[in-house]
Amino acid sequence: MDNLKYIRKKKGLSQVQVAVAIGVTQQEISRIEKGDLKKINMEILENLAFYYGMCLPKLVRIICKCKCKIECEGEIKIRKE
């Protein structure tokens, strides 16, 4: 499974570019890429998911390195694979 840093670099973006685009600091992007979601509000994650062109559940799955299935439509449903 790809991680967020890999996805960002594949798109040729720096942490600063992503941070500016979604209105946060570079340090927040670094923390998110490391999986540290403490004090990161849902709006930031929603903006990041939109920026990367993916649904929020997929973004969370990538960040948390979750091995469960997360469905993107309607309610968030998590099932162990």
Write down the pTM of the prediction.
0.77
Instruction: Let me know: does 38 contact 47? Beta carbons within 8 Å.
Output: no
**What pLDDT, on a 0 to 100 scale, did the predictor assign at position 61?**
83
**What pLDDT, on a 0 to 100 scale, did the predictor assign at position 66?**
66
For 18, the token pair is 């992503």
* End-to-end CA gap in the chain: 14
**What pLDDT, on a 0 to 100 scale, did the predictor assign at position 72?**
52
Cα dihedral across residues 22, 17, 25, 66: positive or negative: positive
Instruction: Let me know: does 70 contact 58? Beta carbons within 8 Å.
Output: yes
Q: How many structural domains are present in the chain?
A: 1
Q: Give 34 or 68, the one with higher predicted confidence.
A: 34
d(CA 45, CA 3): 15
The CATH number linked to 64 is 1.10.260.40
* Domain membership of residue 47 as a residue range: 4-80
Q: What confidence tens digit (pLDDT) does each residue in 55-81 have?
A: 988 898 888 876 555 555 544 444 544
